[in-house]
Amino acid sequence: MTEDELKKPETELKLKAKMTNIDEMNYTLQVFPVNVTCRYSESESEYKISDHAFKSEDVRQIVRNVLFKYKEILVDSVKVGSKDYLFEIQVPKRMEKEKLKQMFAQITTEIKNEISKSRTELESFKKFLEDTEF
């Protein structure tokens, strides 16, 4: 991360879901950021969200950790690693919309927290290097 990236205010991340498939019991949703840039590099297996790099497995783990709290959703249905979406999940047709909204809000918060934590760690390390003589 560059000096300018560190000075940026907290990332305002918003996610949007698009239904891509319907079967007897589930909707398949692809979720992607709508207000920040998000790119996927297949060679690196990572997403770049608002100048912060996430390995696709890190995104999967964030999503899975949140989904564990929602018993209705198949945790093993999480897919990552696409240029078209950040992650894909299967949601039961009977799931309450308010619960779904809370779940996506929590995933958004977790991703923002990871970005913020990364910035804080980098700032702290740079300060350590400035203040310390070896």
Structure confidence at residue 10 (pLDDT): 63
pLDDT tops 50 at residue 14: yes
- At residue 4 the predicted structure's pLDDT band, cuts being 50, 70 and 90, is low
Task: Work out whether strand 46-49 and strand 38-41 pair parallel, antiparallel, or are unpaired.
Answer: antiparallel
pLDDT tops 60 at residue 122: yes
CA distance linking residue 16 with residue 33, whole number of Å: 6
Q: What is the mean pLDDT of the chain?
A: 88
Region 66-86 average pLDDT = 90
Task: Give the model confidence (pLDDT) of 77-100 as tens digits.
Answer: 899 999 999 999 999 998 999 999
Cα→Cα distances 5→45, 48, 123, 128, Å? 22, 13, 11, 19
Structure confidence at residue 72 (pLDDT): 80
40 phi and psi angles, rounded to 5 deg: -120, 130
CA distance linking residue 94 with residue 108, whole number of Å: 23
Region 105-129 average pLDDT = 88
Percent of the chain clearing pLDDT 90 (strictly above):
62
Structure confidence at residue 8 (pLDDT): 54
Structure confidence at residue 7 (pLDDT): 53
Structure confidence at residue 3 (pLDDT): 54
Q: What is the DSSP letter of 9?
A: P
